[in-house]
Amino acid sequence: MDSIRELSIKELEKIIINLNEKKFRAKQIFQWIHQKGAEEFDEMTNLPNTLINKLKENYILRNMTVERISESDNDGTKKLLFKLSDDEVVETVVMQYKYGNSVCISTQVGCRMGCKFCASTIGGLKRNITVGEMLGQVYESNKYLQKNINHIVLMGSGEPLENLDEVIKFLKMINDPQGYYLSLRNITISTCGLVPQIRKLADENFQITLAISLHGARNETRNKLMPINRKYPIEELMKAVDYYIETTNRRITFEYAMIKDLNDSDEEANVLAKLLKGKLVHVNLIPINKVEENDFYPSDEKQIYKFKNILEKSGINVTIRRELGSDINAACGQLRNNYNLTKIEIIKKL
Ligand code: SF4
């Protein structure tokens, strides 16, 4: 059975009319799900019982269950592993800051982009996550925290722009004044650099923040880390970046994982500075977590600061991201992988 979380007000209206009910009921149902956080149809007290029964016969409401929770001892970061209706699992990371509560959601089960430093891609892509499952990750996180999420990052497992149609629906629904009504300025979408989709997203002119995983300033470096660079090399990516900034007037964030002796040299920093100088961008240097399955090691702290200084000398805005949740495998995809490994071990024992 489909989850009613998938449906926009317009889609709900069509369904309600087909069920021989009054059109305004669609808005009430939408408000119950997306504004008031209803978890059961029976909570919808302003609907007639006949309609509630029809909804129960045709739809489920909650579309995932919490399978496992890990919590960091260091900083309180929590990882929720959700089981979806088809038994696939996705991870969601919840972080509580002074300024509010942030959630990092997944947009695909697995990923086929093949970034060498990322655990999400090890098992390949299983399937896209639906709009209702993206919303579900936010609402179930609210329920778990007993507080409302007010920042969302699409940076869990998966490449959001490979699932762009669902992501666009998600942005429209989470920003709907009749629903959760989260400002798009509180949402960040991360991409490994799918050039045509960056242009398509620019044309939508959402006031979100776009984050691009760069991780190398030269094609030679980036090719070693991100296979997508062979399809869309840095020159193509930068043209799309310019188009995005010109169209939306929004600053782009470049994510740059600092990997020892691979992309953290002074020379790489100088090339990066030249590439980004004068653009409306921000660079986020990320001290990486060690992933067991690969041979990448974190850069030395001294080198990270040297890299930062080189960029800043060219007038580029740079921050170093705090390494959140490293003790609970908070790099994207790692929890899902650990879960699958555990499942395999159990099967072997049986
Ligand atoms: S970093 Fe993102 S795009 Fe790259 S493999 Fe991992 S999940 Fe996919």
Q: Give me the domains of the chain, ranges plus CATH numbers.
A: 4-58 (1.10.150.530), 64-349 (3.20.20.70)
The percent of residues above 90 in pLDDT, for the chain, comes to 81
Which of 104, 118, 192, 332 is catalytic? The answer is 332
Nearest residue to 134 via CA among 96, 111, 101, 108: 108
Give the residue, by CA position, lying nearest to ligand 1 atom 3. Answer: 159
Shortest-distance atom of ligand 1 to CA 191? 3
The percent of residues above 70 in pLDDT, for the chain, comes to 90
- 104 assigned to active site: no
Strand pairing category for 64-71 and 78-84: antiparallel
Tell me how far apart the alpha carbons of residues 103 and 92 are, in angstroms, rounded to a whole number: 7
Identify the band that residue 341 occupies on the pLDDT scale cut at 50, 70 and 90.
very low
Q: Is 328 in the pocket of ligand 1 (CB under 6 A)?
A: no
Q: Which of 144-153, 227-236, 332-341 has the lowest mean pLDDT?
A: 332-341
Whether residue 227 is predicted with pLDDT greater than 80 in this model: the reply is: yes
- Give the helix/strand (H/E) hosting 145: helix 131-145
Tell me how far apart the alpha carbons of residues 11 and 8 are, in angstroms, rounded to a whole number: 5
Identify the band that residue 126 occupies on the pLDDT scale cut at 50, 70 and 90.
very high
pLDDT of residue 293: 63
pLDDT of residue 236: 98
> pLDDT by residue (tens digit) across 9-68?
999 999 999 999 999 999 999 999 999 999 999 999 999 999 999 999 999 999 999 999
Strand partners, 253: 211, 282
> pLDDT by residue (tens digit) across 244-277?
999 999 999 999 999 999 999 999 999 999 999 9
Over range 295-308, report the average pLDDT.
Answer: 93
Q: Is 107 in the pocket of ligand 1 (CB under 6 A)?
A: no
Mean pLDDT for the chain overall: 90
Identify the band that residue 329 occupies on the pLDDT scale cut at 50, 70 and 90.
very low
Residue 187 CB contacts under 8 Å (≥ 6 apart), including other chains: 151, 152, 153, 154, 171, 174, 208, 209
Strand partners, 318: 283
More confident residue, 344 or 165: 165
- 91 assigned to active site: yes
